[in-house]
Amino acid sequence: MLINKELCPCGSGDQYTDCCAPFHSGKELAKTAEQLMRSRFSAYALKQVDYLYETTHPDKRDDDFKREITAWANRAEFTRLEILNKRQGRSLDKVGKVEFIAYYRQFGEEKQMHEISRFKRFKGKWHYFDGEVE
Ligand SMILES: [Zn+2]
């Protein structure tokens, strides 16, 4: 992945190296649910399927998980993330919610997904638990 000097796909305005890259490489852990949310969006954009697997709560991973995520990430081009709202999910919380709109292009069409994602800590690390589509 040679995008280190480019802007991070999560839309923070920072270079990828200074933003989500340390989470993807495992050098740093997301401290908040929002950081995890952003790093997962950029993982979708960069098709980092292992990271998406690792940061999904173990109760929510099934056998087909990697295959499904790979298929979904390959069909869509993720273009922009907009965080609308968050509840808890701070460094000392155990649960958190992040409401967002993910913009993507699929089969030549601009699409968006509006979701409220739930995050939980598991063994001290933030994990994506599930989401409600708005
Ligand atoms: Zn980022």
Q: What are phi and psi for residue 61, nearest 5 degrees?
A: -100, 130
The dihedral through the CA atoms of 10, 35, 65, 48 has a sign that is positive
CA of 91 to the centre of ligand 1 (A): 18
CA of 44 to the centre of ligand 1 (A): 11
CA of 43 to the centre of ligand 1 (A): 9
Nearest to 128 by CA among 55, 28, 44, 74: 55
Reduce the DSSP state of residue 2 to 3 states and report it: coil
pTM of the model: 0.94
CA of 113 to the centre of ligand 1 (A): 19
CA of 71 to the centre of ligand 1 (A): 22
* pLDDT for the residue numbered 62: 85
CA of 69 to the centre of ligand 1 (A): 19
* pLDDT for the residue numbered 63: 85
How far, in Å, CA of 14 to CA of 71, rounded? 28
Domains of the chain by range and CATH? 16-133 (3.10.450.50)
How far, in Å, CA of 62 to CA of 68, rounded? 10
Rounded average pLDDT per 10-residue block, the chain, 134 residues = 79 94 97 97 95 96 91 93 97 97 95 97 97 91
